[in-house]
Amino acid sequence: MEPVAGKTHLRWVVLALVATSLAVFAVKVFVLGFPLLPHAQSETWDVEARVSFLARGRPVKARLHILPGSDRYAVIDESFVSRGYGINTASPGGNRQVTWAIRGAQGRQALYYRATVRPAPGNAVHSQPAGPMPQKPEFAGIEAAAARSLIDDARARSADPDTFVSALVQQVTAVPADQRVRVLLGRNPQPGKDLMLAARLLTFAGVPARVAHGVRLTDLERSAPLVDWLQFLHKGRWHYVSSQTGVEQTPRDFLPWWYGDRPFVQVSGANRVETSVAVARGRETALGGATEQGLRLMPKLFGFSLFTLPIETQAVYHVLLLVPVGAFILVLMRNVVGFKTFGTFMPVLIALAFRQTELLWGIVLFSAIVALGLTVRFYLERLKLLLVPRLAAVLIVVVLLMAALSVLSHRLGLPQGLSVALFPMVILTMTIERMSIVWEERGAFEALQEGSGSLAVAALAYLVINQAWLQHLVFVFPELLLLLLAAVLLLGRYTGYRLLELRRFRALARDESR
């Protein structure tokens, strides 16, 4: 019963490791937007609003709507440029707004608002309710009669909320305008007022609606026009409606700026007010954007991330996190394939050294040091030294050999030889000692077999861990190492044949078949 209980416990541990790893990985990818590939870039847009006016030496107060951010687009940076003005931001009525104020200004003034936005991870066309909710309007007298008549006609020509909205918008925006629409718009209707009227009528009819003002995100637009879209709330989501056709559409390149009937800019104490909006496409590293997203959405949890460490420490972990990958490859090659190696960590550490020496030169330098070290080790055997002094002597010889190879390669104009100092001295010393013992006890063939197996595993581990995408995944998603841990735990129970042993037992299988 004990082995069965042990297997069950192991399975639960493996399942917990896999579930934890995949859960954290999914949050980083689908919520925070961490990229799966190195050097991946995400689109960003730089948006700038300019407000200029002529001041007359009196107190001036200027209000400008600023970007609210949504689950479609995230505002990752914003700044306000003004000289001598006090700045205050607030969210009256659900819209974000900046207020510039100064006691006295003279002449032409210019105020700037700049922001950088990028698509939010998993952005959806229909965003969750955000921004101001519309208040039910009141109509009186002839306006109330005209509003009810328009609503009744739209209901008669519709079957559900979508078609009702479409019918009402088409009535309000029709050319020439309906008599009832002219009554509601007044004598001097301003541009865009018909869309405001449609939103008021829909809200009055029990379908919350509002007008979203914004800009189109383009490559470069020095004077981007403001664009209006009608939105109505249905089943907890805002749906966009085209003002031209009244049909629901998906404005992929539309950046909502503010909602409702408030003007874009309000300036008191000055005249000749002019506004302009500029849009330009840019790019940032997807990893940088995801990091900022993580700090914004999960500041406490993200505070324990590797990205909060100093840059020098991060560089160390870029290497250390590759060690488990090399160890996993070693487990596969030894327990499943059947390669013989010296020790457990020697091939992994040699593979890390190959990242600096390059594979071919690393193999040559490693082989040269081990061969020369073996020669010295066999000589020391004649001196009948104790173990610890002998190891110390081999270590000293290894250091001297490394220094000699570096000087010799430098004199020959081979800069690759200078990287021999990157090999771990202690590992080389233990490899030489272990190889000499195997040579004496089991023969030269067995020693060379284990030595070449160690070098082959180190070379394979180098080829794997030297992949840029793998280095990126391991550092950005260190939780994936839990998957390697789960795989190693499962391989720890593997007691079957190794691949290289199948050839040895092939003759036995033939005899059994007879």
Model confidence at 414, in pLDDT bands (50, 70, 90)? confident
* φ and ψ at residue 511, rounded to 5 degrees: -65, -40
Task: For 79-112, write each residue's pLDDT tens digit.
Answer: 888 888 999 988 877 788 999 998 888 888 889 9
Mean confidence (pLDDT) of the chain: 81
Residue recorded with tokens 């948006």: 47
Q: How confident is the model at residue 482 (pLDDT cuts 50, 70, 90)?
A: very high
Which band of pLDDT confidence, cut at 50, 70 and 90, is reported for residue 113?
very high
| Confidence check: pLDDT of 16 > 90 | yes
Rounded to an integer, the average pLDDT of 347-375 is 84
- List the one residue out of 91, 90, 96 whose CA is nearest residue 49: 96
Query: Residues 130, 74: contact at Cβ < 8 Å?
Result: no
User: Closest Cα partner for 245 from 166, 351, 349?
Assistant: 166
Q: Within 10 Å of residue 478's Cβ, how many Cβ atoms?
A: 16
Band of residue 289 on the pLDDT scale cut at 50, 70, 90: low
State which H helix or E strand residue 43 sits in: strand 41-56
CB 378 within 8 A of CB 436: yes
Q: Mean pLDDT, to the nearest integer, of 370-398?
A: 85
pLDDT exceeds cutoff 90 at 19: yes
- pLDDT score at 416: 64
Least confident of 85-94, 115-124, 353-362: 115-124
Q: Worst-scoring range by mean pLDDT, 63-72, 79-88, 183-192, 333-342? A: 183-192
Q: By percentage, how much of the chain surpasses pLDDT 70?
A: 85
Judged by average pLDDT, the poorest of 142-146, 291-295, 391-395 is 291-295
DSSP state letters, 239-287:
EEE-TTT--B---TTEEEEEESS--SEEEESEEEEEEEEEEEEEEEEHH
pLDDT tops 90 at residue 495: no
Contact 357, 420 (CB under 8 A): yes
Among the listed residues 238, 346, 273, the one whose alpha carbon sits nearest the alpha carbon of residue 64: 273
Query: In this predicted structure, which of 215-224, 300-309, 318-327 has the lowest mean pLDDT?
Result: 300-309
